Amino acid sequence: MALKVHGTVGSPATFRALAALHEKDLDFEFIPVNLSAKEHKSPQFLAHKNPFGQVPVFEHGDLKLFESRAITKYVAEAFADKGTSLIHKDPKKSAIQTVWTEVEAQKFDPTVAKLGWEIVLKPKFGMTTDEAVVAEFEKKLEPLLDVYEKRLTESKYLGGDSFTLADLHHLPTLQGIMGTKVKSQFDARPHVSAWASDILSRPAWVKVASMLTK
């Protein structure tokens, strides 16, 4: 059964889904969605792909899914024996992994994506960075990364002793922020810094990130 991803190069959520597919060594068809042409807000897209008008949308036979973190989970479980194992099978380890997956979704992504929006994306769209917002969210990031530093002192990866979705979900937003002055917050914490370098250099991620330069 064919795997398809409807998405956009550069969209963090799209890249999140693609990272999982590459880690699992899966063949899939990538169908570009033209965000500038507002393709994602067309009646057909809203009716048949994602009613929230967002990318990515994933297909596996008759199954259609939106929300990148639901897509990665499905892929990790449906193809558990292929490529990199992205989930822990042991129930207790799985529970801990799920905790840190929620931390990314509830805390890391909102904070870092906001910084990425202000510092990287607004200038790209001809808008002005709001330095007050940047300062506010930089301040929010510090205690968050302190928790990460402590966690990564006790555990090789966020979700446990091996790379899992709990780490993978960070990749798109992490990649974006490491090209900005906010990188200094990561560099200041040795375990966070090592973890970030480690996961950003994974071949599957490098493959996804290289789509930006094509």
Using CB under 8 A as the criterion, which residues of the chain lie in contact with another protein when the complex forms? 51-52, 63, 65-70, 73-74, 77-78, 91-92, 94-96, 98-99, 101-103, 105-107, 110, 144, 147, 150-151
CB of 188 to another protein, least distance (A): 18
Are 59 and 9 contacting, i.e. CB atoms less than 8 angstroms apart? Answer: no
Q: Which is nearer to another protein, 33 or 202 (CB)?
A: 33
Encoded tokens for 46: 């809203």
Residue 213, Cβ density class (10 Å: 0-12 exposed, 13-18 middle, ≥19 buried): exposed
CB of 15 to another protein, least distance (A): 16
CB of 135 to another protein, least distance (A): 18
Q: Which is nearer to another protein, 1 or 214 (CB)?
A: 1
Q: Which is nearer to another protein, 103 or 182 (CB)?
A: 103
Q: Which is nearer to another protein, 172 or 202 (CB)?
A: 172
CB of 144 to another protein, least distance (A): 8
Say which DSSP state 179 is in.
T
Query: What is the C-alpha to C-alpha distance for residues 20 and 213, in angstroms, rounded to an integer?
Result: 20
Q: Which is nearer to another protein, 94 or 193 (CB)?
A: 94
In whole angstroms, what separates CA 82 from the centre of its chain? Answer: 20
In whole angstroms, what separates CA 202 from the centre of its chain? Answer: 14
CB of 201 to another protein, least distance (A): 27
- DSSP for 57-86, please give it: EEEETTEEEESHHHHHHHHHHHTTTSSS--
